[in-house]
Amino acid sequence: MSNTTTFTTAKKQYLKVLKQYVPIVDRVHGSNHPEFHDVRQTFEAMVQKIEQAGAKHPALQQEFALLRTITGNYTIPQDVCETYEAVYHMLSQLDEAYTKGAGDAEIHTR
C-alpha cells in the first residue's frame, strides 16, 4: 500500500535521519566509495539552503541534479551496508518529491 506525500512531508520524514546517517556513511564507506564524499558535501549544502529558506521553498534543482550524477541515479553499490542503501533511498525520495512539482509534488513511498 502506498501513501502520498509532498516534498515538505518527505523533508520532515527524512532530513533528521539523513543528517545523522550521511556523516556516518561517509566515514565508514568513504575510503571505498570516494564519491560519497561528494554526496555528503552536496547534502550539507542542501541542508544549509533548506534551513536558510525557512518556510519558503529552497532552490535545490542544482543539488539534486548533482546527486543524480554522483550516484548514478541513486544506484546502490553492491558492497555497502543497509544504512548506505537507506541514505540513497531517502535522497531519491526527496529528489522525486522535489522535482515532480517544484516542492509541492506528490510522490508514492513504500
- Mean pLDDT over 14-20 rounds to 97
Note the pLDDT tens digit of each residue in 46-103: 999 999 998 888 999 999 999 999 999 999 999 999 999 999 999 999 999 998 865 3
pLDDT band at 3 (very low <50, low <70, confident <90, very high): very low
Q: How far apart are CA 5 and CA 70, in angstroms?
A: 25
**CA 87 to each of CA 54, 79, 80, 95: distance values in angstroms, whole numbers, following the listed order:** 23, 14, 11, 12
Q: Strands 3-5 and 107-109, how do they pair?
A: antiparallel
- Asked if 10 and 107 touch (Cβ cutoff 8 Å), the reply is yes
pTM of the model: 0.86
